[in-house]
Amino acid sequence: MNSIEKQLKEFPYQLILGSNSPRRQELLKSLGFNFINKPIHADESFSEELYAEHIPLYLAEKKANAYQDILKEHELLITADTIVWCKEKVFNKPNNYLESKQMLENLSGQTHEVFTGVCLKSHKKQITFYDVSKVYFKALKSEEIDYYLTNFNPYDKAGGYGVQDWIGYIGIEKIEGSFYNVMGLPVKKLYEELMNF
């Protein structure tokens, strides 16, 4: 057993992921940590005065504070929130087909930022951090948007799209920063913060 295997196996906390997102579950599992998933249902409203990275940081903390159980000494809760930020405006999860279409039309041919805020909470302390990635979209054709929305139903994704979906394959010209952050979890930063917690 090498040192990394040993660190992961002997990690001193029982990780609890408070998320409904299958992408976050998949990414945390791929990092090599054992964890329990306990989705948190929290009100995701926020003040219009919040700007860019402050929105997902606030929401990640709000989700952590909505966790129902009392954290035991050996438990560490992870919550996260992702937003798309374009033209000084937040693009959250769309409610329906029309909202998704409007979002993708706005992102088409533009560069936008994806911010993910993460909160780590134990019974003794709580920290928050974020990562940002810049995404360059080509100009999307109307029929490409319609095909994507008809076949992939991206209504649980910020900005109305998944980078790992068909629209990401054909529409994203390049990404500056973490690809996994765009998926919903900045795994490099998360790994570092967990190891230092």
The residues annotated with a catalytic role in the active site are 81
Distances (CA, A) of 117 to 99, 110, 149: 23, 23, 26
Q: Identify the sign of the CA torsion 187, 190, 194, 195.
A: positive
What's the token pair of residue 71? 């954290």
Question: 133 near 178, Cβ under 8 Å?
Answer: yes
Q: Are 58 and 117 in contact (CB under 8 A)?
A: yes
Please give the Cα distance from 171 to 138 (Å, whole number).
5
Token couple for 74: 């050996």
